Amino acid sequence: MSPRQVGCFGTWFRRKQVSAEPSKTHEISSPLGKSSATAVVSSISSELKCNYITPCDHSYADMGDWWSQSDVQPPAYDAPGFDSVIDSTLDELSPQLRKLSMEIHSHPELAFCEVFAHDVLTTFMGSHGFTVTKSYLGLQTAFKAEFTHGKGGRVLGINSEYDALKGIGHACGHNLIAWSGCGVALAVKAALETHDIPGKVVLLGTPAEESGGGKIILLERGAYDGMDLCVMCHPAPGPPQSANIGGSIAVQDITVEYAGRTAHAGAAPWEGRNALDAAFLAYSSVSVLRQQMRPDHRVHGVIESNGEMTPNVIPDYAKMHWLVRAPTSSDLTAFVERVKQCLQAAALATGCEIKLHFEHPYLELKQNEVLGREFADIVSKRYNMATTGLTSSASTDFGNVSYAMPALHPGFAIPTEPNGGNHTIGFTKAAASKEAHMQTLRVTKALAHTGLRALRDAEFFKQVKESFKL
């Protein structure tokens, strides 16, 4: 038998072994079938971290079928005294929150330029009894809205996002995240007042999540100091009536510039140094690297500028923007090094100068397990929703917040068209739908219940803190 044949059989046996193992993804997703809305939670174990949601797995459900499961009445939730005020406050505010959502959706603004959203959100919070600081800590479109009841108690932090994507508007649904943050803050305020619970609510308006890392800047400038925990939520495609409390992966933003030398492309090309060629080689090298990288890593980039030259001039400038992702910060450090080598090799091959710029990385999201269990219990019992613990291969600057304090960032499904997940035009449409609003309202209520429990229940908060230390 030749070595080649051994190799083939080796592969076959290996395939057989792999396929004989039960699929983890199947185990997780099966309880989400139409007949059951049982919560499948807490699987924030490392074992589950190797499973990934992709938009094509779950991106579509017919709008007409979407809410059929809501016919099943959920069992009573076991904190009746605190239920009514949170749910009734948010039901009452719902039309105003919908208006905010649609205003922001129809005024999409890019990172650090979210002036319209900043103004409507701060006006809204100011008119509902919160003390507002506009343009917080030197960031023009950041804000703080705070409310204190009684003396002492714990501090609940909440984040709103409101930046959009170039060319495709609110394709990540941040219009929903914006008002959800307001909703959580107002519902918890109402509960603190009604039940005379001491505590503080701090809503931070955090610009530039898609790029720029607004939360990282705010963390560095002390905006999160004094918070005991922080929560927010994020829409995604997914099975009807589902939420997800899995983590997300780390990302490094890299800008690379190549500087060459112009020359007449016909008469004397040998006098030039072609920066566009450097970008082309860098793109090709990273594409080749992609074959050797692990399936849970990601790298993707664009050429932002080629110096706007004409074909008869050798381009002397090119700029590329790359995002490099890996499951953990240490994986990321190693993978960034490989990508850096590709970028540098392109400069070497073309004789161009290279300038690399690294942004502060977004760390992987570490969901607080105790907060996650509480949230999953609430959405299951009160809102008939199932919760999974699948890691997303997207990234968020809220990951850095989750390193600083106990934090929860549930994803939740809204109905969208086939292949219409986050960062597509389909999702822009989905983020404006009434169904998306209603689902955000449920998740907002659940986050408010979760946050309130951390303020009112010392024993529960002790567990939250202990879980953060682990």
- Reference 253, options 195, 211, 292, 221; nearest CA is 211
**Closest to Zn ion by CB, 375 or 427:** 427
**Closest to Zn ion by CB, 282 or 394:** 394
- Reference 383, options 323, 423, 443; nearest CA is 443
Q: What is the largest CA-CA distance in the chain?
A: 83
CB of residue 234 to Zn ion, shortest distance in Å: 6
- For residues 118 and 111, the answer to whether their CB atoms sit within 8 Å is no
**Closest to Zn ion by CB, 172 or 204:** 172
> From CA 352, how far away is CA 307, in angstroms rounded?
14
What Cα–Cα distance (Å) separates residue 120 from each residue in 1, 126, 179, 184, 346? 74, 10, 10, 17, 47
Q: Which residues pair with 203 in a beta bridge?
A: 145, 158
The rounded Cα 235 to chain-centroid distance in angstroms is 9
CB of residue 180 to Zn ion, shortest distance in Å: 12
Amino acid making up residue 136 = Y
CB of residue 36 to Zn ion, shortest distance in Å: 29
**Closest to Zn ion by CB, 41 or 172:** 172
Which residues bind to Zn ion, rule: CB under 5 A?
172
Helix (H, G, I), strand (E, B) or coil at 148: strand
Question: What six digits make up the tokens of 392?
Answer: 């997303």
Question: What six digits make up the tokens of 333?
Answer: 């450090």
CB of residue 92 to Zn ion, shortest distance in Å: 28
CB of residue 428 to Zn ion, shortest distance in Å: 11
CB of residue 171 to Zn ion, shortest distance in Å: 7
With CB atoms as reference, the residue minimizing the distance to Zn ion is 172
CB of residue 278 to Zn ion, shortest distance in Å: 29
Strands (E), 283-425: 298-305, 317-326, 353-358, 386-388, 391-392, 407-408, 411-413
> From CA 240, how far away is CA 42, in angstroms rounded?
19
Q: Which residues pair with 353 in a beta bridge?
A: 259
> From CA 363, how far away is CA 365, in angstroms rounded?
6
**Closest to Zn ion by CB, 172 or 232:** 172
CB of residue 48 to Zn ion, shortest distance in Å: 22
**Closest to Zn ion by CB, 172 or 441:** 172
Q: Which residues contact 461 (CB under 8 A, 6 or more apart)?
A: 154, 228, 229, 454, 455
Q: Which residues pair with 199 in a beta bridge?
A: 149, 154
**Closest to Zn ion by CB, 160 or 388:** 160
**Closest to Zn ion by CB, 86 or 447:** 447
What Cα–Cα distance (Å) separates residue 82 from each residue in 42, 187, 201, 250, 456? 24, 11, 17, 37, 10
CB of residue 162 to Zn ion, shortest distance in Å: 10
CB of residue 235 to Zn ion, shortest distance in Å: 8
The single residue listed with the structure tokens 């529960």 is: 460
**Closest to Zn ion by CB, 190 or 218:** 218
**Closest to Zn ion by CB, 87 or 209:** 209
Q: What phi and psi, each to the nearest 5 degrees, are found at residue 94? A: -50, -45
**Closest to Zn ion by CB, 172 or 352:** 172
CB of residue 232 to Zn ion, shortest distance in Å: 10
Rounded (10°) CA dihedral 9, 13, 16, 18? -120
